[in-house]
A = this chain, B = another copy of it.
Amino acid sequence: MASIKDVARRSGVSISTVSYVFTGKRSVKLETRIRVFEAARELGYFPNVGAQMLRNGRTHIIALSSPIHSYTNFTNYAAFFFEMVRAAHRHHFHVLLFAGEDEDEQFVRFADSNLVDGVVLLDVAWNDERIQRAKLASVPYVSIGMPMDSENLIAVDVDFEEVGRVAIDRLAESGHKEILFVGSDQSVDSKSKDVTESNYLHRITASIQAQARRRGITVHSVLTKGDDYSSVRCLLADTFDQHDEITGMITQTSIEFVNNAIGVLQLIGRPIPERTSIVSLASYGKTEMLPVQIDEMPLLPAAVCSKAMQLLIGALDGEAPRAGHIELLHPTYIDRGSIRRV
């Protein structure tokens, strides 16, 4: 494995010059620079990251902490992985993946060993154990998702309070009075006895209820365990049977649920959008490929991850305050005409 010394010798310059050629932190005569690059190429030289880490005290690696819950939606998760990697690469950072049930113990081992410059917490639950550690850690943490105890924390997320509010407003403005809210059931993590809801369902639900009360609207809430056709049929058939008065629907579910709901509602004589108005919240996936165009307020993994990375870099550079920064992203409402005046 060729080292900087070899390159220096071969190109007839000193090692510091080679270093400066590669870091670009000092101007080097073009001719020399070319000779150095040439030599490096010939020798197959790459700077040794270990040495750089040691010297610079920076690894340019972030940890992505991704616990698996019973309700974890892998599709959404993968989207965040990919977007996080993209965001990190844009800033020349690498991503170390920590995932799974045993995630916790692994975590302890590395978090302070200077392997990573910072940590991004994915899928932060309403009361997440990791938050305690975040506050004691020697490297900056950024939480994606807002936990209950968000004091003194760097966190990014879509503003789900606003999501709920806007969803209700849209339906209310079109005259809907009786609304069905369907959330995916993820109330209890199999492992812990605590209620560790994924934070955004919690926040959306609360904000929907509050806004509905404010506008004098009735919200019927149900949770769904399965997103397959027959589960959806049972759920919706039952609900609309008991509550014929429902005209609008808000879903916070997988895209499969929505897809099946389209079919079921058609079947029970309440087609979207003619007889049922609908908006899908916190969705991710190829929504535009559904047989019926559906309004949505999507998850924004790209925006969230990008912002998370920004905040992390800021904390590393000491530009931003190292803690206590909560950034709520403005949600997007995509109007596809699935809400009709009633």
The reply to whether B82 and A99 form a contact with Cβ atoms under 8 Å apart is yes
CB of A106 closer than 8 Å to a CB of B: yes
Q: Closest CB-CB distance, A117 to chain B, in whole Å?
A: 11
The reply to whether A94 and B81 form a contact with Cβ atoms under 8 Å apart is no
Q: Within 8 Å CB of A259, what residues of B?
A: 228-229
The reply to whether B112 and A46 form a contact with Cβ atoms under 8 Å apart is yes
Instruction: Tell me which of A51-59, A195-203, A244-252 binds B.
Output: A51-59
CB of A269 closer than 8 Å to a CB of B: no
Contacts known (A59-B50, A256-B256); A94 close to B115, Cβ less than 8 A: yes
Q: Within 8 Å CB of A57, what residues of B?
A: 1, 50
- Binary contact readout A29-56 vs B (1 if CB under 8 angstroms, 0 otherwise): 0000000000000001011111111100
The reply to whether B53 and A49 form a contact with Cβ atoms under 8 Å apart is yes
Q: Closest CB-CB distance, A309 to chain B, in whole Å?
A: 14
Number of this chain's copies in the assembly equals 2
- Binary contact readout A50-87 vs B (1 if CB under 8 angstroms, 0 otherwise): 11111001010100100010000011011101100110
Q: Within 8 Å CB of A98, what residues of B?
A: 85
CB of A213 closer than 8 Å to a CB of B: no
Partner of A89, one of B44, B50, B102: B102
Extra contacts, 13 of them, besides A94-B115, A228-B290, A229-B229 (Cβ < 8 A), are A44-B138, A48-B54, A48-B114, A49-B115, A50-B50, A50-B53, A68-B82, A74-B78, A74-B79, A81-B97, A89-B100, A95-B96, A230-B263
By a beta-carbon cutoff of 8 Å, the part of chain A in contact with chain B is 1, 44, 46-54, 57, 59, 61, 64, 68, 74-75, 77-79, 81-82, 85-86, 89, 94-100, 102, 106, 110, 112-115, 138, 226, 228-230, 256, 259-260, 263, 289-291
